[in-house]
Structure formats: C-alpha cells, structure tokens
Amino acid sequence: MSLPEPPPARPPTWGQDPEPPPAPAATGRWTPVRAATWASAACLVVLLLGVLAGRPDAAVLGVAPLVLAARALHGRPAGPLRARLEAGDVDDDPDARGGGGGLHATLCLEGPARWAAVTTTRQGRPGTEVLVRLADERRLPVVARTVRTGPQEVATAVVQGVGPDGASVAEPTPPVTRSTVVLPATTPLLDLPLPSRLRGLTGPHESRRPGEGGGLRDVHPWAPGDRLRRIDWRVTARRSPDLRELYVRREHAQAEAVVVLVVDSRDDVGPDPRTWRGSVAPRPQDATSLDRARQAAASLARAYLAAGDRVGLDDLGVRRRPVPPGGGRRQLDRIRHSLALTAPEGEPSARLRPPRLPSGALVVVFSTFLDDESAAVAARWRTAGHRVVAVDVLPRLRASGLYDRERLALRMMTLTREDRMAELADQDVELVTWRDEPAVALRVLARRAQRRAGAGVAR
C-alpha cells in the first residue's frame, strides 16, 4: 500500500523513529450496515404482502434474502479490532540507495474480522482506501514518498472491520500515527576550501609553519636540536665537500582544519513566493530552503570529517548550545541529527554580537539572505579574521501564476537581495549558490590563496 506522492530527486535518510503511544482499542461493538437493514425490511414487507394477498410465489421472493441476512447477522464477529503502526526496515547505508526514496512503516491488524477497510492519510492529505482480507492477523507495508527532512509524519491509519457478506461493520479504530526523523542526505563533493590558519600539531593538511610530515620547506645548516636523520648528504657534499658544515632538510608541519557550520533556521521558504506568508503551506513535493541547508551542511560535514578535520555546528535562529568541533563518525551522526531537528521557532531575538567561534576557524553560513541579519553576522566574522563562505540555499523561484503586484514585490526583493550579496562579496566573503553546481564552486574556492602574508610562518 503506497501513499501517492511524487518521488524525491534524492532519497532521504531515515533517522530514529520515536515510539508512538499505544492507541486505545475500539469497543468491539458490531452493527448491521444500513443497506442490509433496509434490504431486510424490504424483504419482510414483500413476505407479509405475499401472505396477506394469498400470493405464495411473491412471498417466496422475500424468504431467501431474509434467511441470508439473518445468517450473516447471527455469524457476525465479536470483539474489538486492533491496529498499530510499526517502524519499517532501515537501510544500513541510506546514502547509497538508488531510486526513489520513501518512508516505510508496517500496519499490523489483529481481530476477529474477516475483512478490514483501511484508510490512510498523511499530514492531513488524503491517501489510499483499501479493503484487505484479515485472518486473525495481517501486516501491511506502508510507503510514503517525501523530499523533506526533519521530523515528519509517515502515515495515519484508520481501520474498520467488515463482517461476513458485508452485512455488519465494527466501529472504526482510533487513528494510529507513526512519525520519524528524516536525516539529511549528503552529496559527494570535490576539493574543499580551508581556513586561513590551520591548527594542531598533526592533521591531513600541510601548514605553513616548520615541522614534520609535510613537504619540503627548505635546506638549512645544521643547528642544535636538528635530528641527524634529516641530514641531506647530497646537499652537504655539494656545498661543503670537506664536511665542515652539515645541511638538513626542513619540512612543513601537518595540521588540521577547524570548520564551523552555521545554519540560519529563521527562514523555511519554498520555491513558490505565495507560500512565504505562512497562510499556505509549501507543496509536499517541493524542497524548502531549510531542506537544502540541511543537505548542504551534512554534505560539507561528511567531506571535512572524512578528510580528518574537525567540524562543529551552530544555529543563528535559535540560541542553544552549539555542537562543538570534533571528528569521527559519531560527530557526523551528531551533526546530522542536530540538523534534522533544526527548525524555525517563533520570532528570533536580535543578536548583539555574533556567536563565538574557535580561533582561525573556517565559517560556512547557510542562509537565504532575505534580510540583513545573516549577512551582517557573516561580515563581522570576516572582519574578525575568519575565512567566511556564504552558501545561498534559496530554491529556484517560480514566478508563474503571480499577480502583477506580486511580481513587482518579488522583483524588489530580488534586487535588494542581489545588492546584499554584492556587499558581502565586497567584504571578501566568498559566495556559493547551492542550487547550481556547489561541488565545482567549492573546488574553485579551494584553489584560491586565502592566506595573509606571513600567516602561519615562524618568525
């Protein structure tokens, strides 16, 4: 049994399914259907008229239906019908799935009924209505298509038992609901930009300061403290054949990058501008800006953590404890779960200062930049010396079907937003549009030299 929704462009990822509260069972009362009652009454009238009129042929016409109706009512089931929704199967590697992704659940039916009428809905929208045969117990798969991420409803089911020959029905069971948290999927990325200053004494990247593990920095005369195994005998033989002076090879140190992902959860808008006021919900087959922000942040977190860097997460829309920078697979799971729970929470309070970040961290801001708040925070971080990458997550807008005044308002908003993005570029904030080719844009930023003169070089 499948709920009719368009398949997503990229399959979502299942998260932890919260256990729903147990649904109360129906009372177990079975009542005749209206059609059987009226048919029995009509047959009884035909029988009485045939007897009173002395027409046995007419009276016989009402006997057989009455016998069948009495037999069906006498053999109607007794007892309540129980229904519950259980979690479906979860893939071990959801990001590697192909085809259209969906949310899975299992509808379990138990009771004395022979047949059951199942009606499913999802988020208030009509789904499917099916009649299934029930032999004490039946398990039905439920699949819902979605492009959204975060907490959402899988399905709501209402079940009504049907007796023999459809002559009696049971009371409908209370609605049973199953909810889940859909984690954002990830997109493969190529090269990634690095902060202007690397940290730590080890890591996957080559820093500018002297140390061990990196590429060749220079060749220098031997000094106290240099290791003998670093003596370059070829250079020594060429520059000092009499071995009066030894030359050693000095290398660059290995270090790690610290990346802080900042999601602006204040806006959750779809591609249709008419839904931005909140009176009309976006269409279920349209991914919103927050869905794109979750996917973009999860993709960058996975790429940086796979390279051995440290990644943290913060939210501009909600003041709560951020996810501190860390590494490893568990850090990726923690970030993806926090991203899935990120959502607008009322009117956000104005910030007097931007959130505190680790020194020398790369800041990636995911926002629609529909107002000045996120742009101002990104500019302050750039002024403080951080390398800032602004990721535009606004979906591609649909202007068809808008009135003239709505087109004018959209045009004014677009011009104001373009001016705001141009000001960010003038303040040396690097821009990436996620709806175009984010992997290519990030690779271009990775090849740009963003180091200040003398940054990370020992004096």
Per-residue pLDDT of the chain (459 residues; tens, 9 = 90+): 555 444 444 544 555 555 555 555 555 677 776 666 666 666 777 767 777 777 776 666 666 666 666 666 666 677 788 888 888 654 434 443 333 357 888 899 988 888 889 999 888 788 888 888 887 788 999 888 888 888 888 889 999 888 776 677 788 888 999 888 889 989 899 889 988 777 655 555 555 656 555 566 667 787 777 777 777 788 778 888 877 888 877 766 566 788 999 999 988 898 998 888 877 778 878 889 999 999 999 999 999 998 888 899 999 888 788 899 998 899 999 999 999 999 888 776 666 677 888 888 899 999 999 999 899 999 999 999 899 999 999 999 988 888 899 899 999 999 999 999 999 999 999 999 998 889 999 999 988 754 443 444 333
Task: State how far the Cα of 282 lies from the Cα of 274, in Å rounded to an integer.
Answer: 9
Residue type, 101: G
- Cβ density class 156-184: b for 16+ within 10 Å, e for less: bbbbbbbbbbebbbbeebeebbbbbbbbb
Residue 255 CB contacts under 8 Å (≥ 6 apart), including other chains: 198, 199, 200, 201, 202, 203, 205, 206, 207, 209
Q: Which two tokens stand for residue 145?
A: 């298509």
- Dihedral through CA 270, CA 271, CA 272, CA 275, nearest 10? 10
Task: State how far the Cα of 432 lies from the Cα of 390, in Å rounded to an integer.
Answer: 6
Cα distances (angstroms) measured from residue 433 to each of 205, 288, 368, 389, 436: 26, 15, 10, 11, 6
Contact assessment for residue 183 and residue 337, using Cβ atoms and an 8 Å cutoff: yes
Cα distances (angstroms) measured from residue 378 to each of 352, 367, 386, 435: 14, 10, 9, 20
Q: What is the pTM of this model?
A: 0.74
